């Protein structure tokens, strides 16, 4: 990340500055090798457009989402309260994140503990930038005219009713958006939202991410678009399982926009 302009809140505060938005990177965006590319793509877009943003850097800890889902409420509240103290200490008003799990936790679960912020998913932020004409899409890149399908993340769709923003971002690329047979409110979980990414699956006829990948491949799409680090992992593994990785790619929305912008 050293080649990009990524100011920390501590640096901005020391200079008496306040960013327009705090970019919450998340654990996956910070430590998962594949999703680091998404973090870099989103930062490139923010830099190119001239958005005033900052990250917490070493002051950012896990939101506590995995702890709460696993039933460890004590650990969740410890992590959440620590993060809220940092956020409130910097007088943060607006947060954007590329992780639906972080998005859901900060938006819906932090208020009860004293953390009230405007929280948006990066698909919503990208849609705003596109609608405002701040993101200049070339429209002639590798996606032009191609079939793209979008996989709805559980914590973005069902939990927060965000369905249109990611699709509007995809449509801006001058592509053909093709839907899976189960999409939007009826979308099938890739498995990660249900914890299958972190444990061995129960006995059954088929792993859920394989089931979902088959639905994506059935659309004939050359790209499976996602807006979640865990969905990215599960769908990528599914494509590899079906031996289609040479024909079908899995990208996050930020990567697709950055590619089209040529950055």
pLDDT for 20-64, tens place per residue?
Answer: 999 999 999 999 999 999 999 999 999 999 999 999 999 999 999
Instruction: Let me know if 36 is exposed, middle or buried by CB neighbors in 10 A (0-12, 13-18, 19+).
Output: middle
Q: Are 232 and 38 in contact (CB under 8 A)?
A: yes
Collect all residues with Cβ–Cβ distance below 8 Å to 95 and sequence separation of at least 6: 21, 22, 24, 87, 106, 117, 118, 119, 120
Q: What's the pLDDT score for residue 1?
A: 44
Token pair in block for residue 188 = 């099938």
Query: Which helix (H) or strand (E) covers residue 174, if one does?
Result: none
Residue in 57, 52, 54 with CA at minimum distance from that of residue 20: 52
Which DSSP string corresponds to 40-53? Answer: HHHHHHHHHHT--E
Mean pLDDT of the chain: 94
- Separation of alpha carbons 8 and 80, rounded Å: 20
Q: Are 157 and 187 in contact (CB under 8 A)?
A: yes
Q: Which domains does the chain have, with CATH numbers?
A: 9-127 (3.40.50.1860), 136-261 (3.40.50)
- Separation of alpha carbons 156 and 160, rounded Å: 5
Q: How far is CA 228 from CA 77, 192, 193, 218, 255, in A?
A: 24, 10, 10, 21, 12
pLDDT category of residue 199 using cuts at 50, 70 and 90 = low
Q: What tens digit of pLDDT does each residue of 143-162 get? A: 999 999 999 999 999 999 99
Q: What tens digit of pLDDT does each residue of 82-131 get? A: 999 999 999 999 999 999 999 999 999 999 999 999 999 999 999 999 99
On the question of pLDDT at 139 being above 80, the answer is: no
Q: What's the pLDDT score for residue 4?
A: 80
């Amino acid at each position: 990340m050293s080649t990009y302009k990524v100011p920390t809140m501590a640096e901005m505060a020391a200079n008496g500055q306040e960013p327009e938005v705090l970019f919450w990177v998340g654990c996956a965006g910070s430590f998962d090798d594949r999703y680091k590319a998404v973090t870099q793509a989103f930062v490139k877009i923010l830099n190119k457009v001239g958005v005033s943003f900052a990250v917490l850097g070493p002051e950012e800890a896990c939101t506590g989402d995995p702890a709460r889902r696993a039933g460890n409420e004590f650990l969740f509240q410890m992590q959440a309260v620590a993060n809220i103290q940092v956020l409130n200490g910097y007088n943060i008003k607006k947060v954007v994140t590329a992780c639906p799990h972080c998005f859901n936790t900060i938006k819906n679960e932090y208020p009860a503990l004293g953390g009230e912020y405007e929280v948006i998913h990066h698909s919503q932020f990208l849609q705003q930038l596109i609608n405002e004409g701040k993101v200049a899409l070339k429209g002639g890149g590798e996606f032009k005219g191609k079939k793209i399908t979008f996989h709805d993340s559980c914590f973005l769709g069902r939990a927060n009713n965000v369905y249109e923003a990611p699709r509007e971002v995809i449509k801006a690329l001058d592509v053909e958006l093709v839907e899976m047979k189960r999409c939007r409110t009826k979308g099938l979980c890739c498995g990660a939202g249900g914890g299958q990414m972190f444990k061995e699956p129960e006995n059954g006829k088929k792993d859920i991410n394989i089931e979902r990948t088959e639905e994506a491949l059935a659309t004939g799409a050359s790209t499976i678009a996602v807006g979640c680090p865990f969905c990215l992992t599960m769908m990528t593994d599914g494509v590899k399982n079906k031996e289609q990785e040479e024909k079908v790619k899995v990208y996050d929305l930020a990567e697709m926009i950055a590619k089209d912008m040529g950055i």
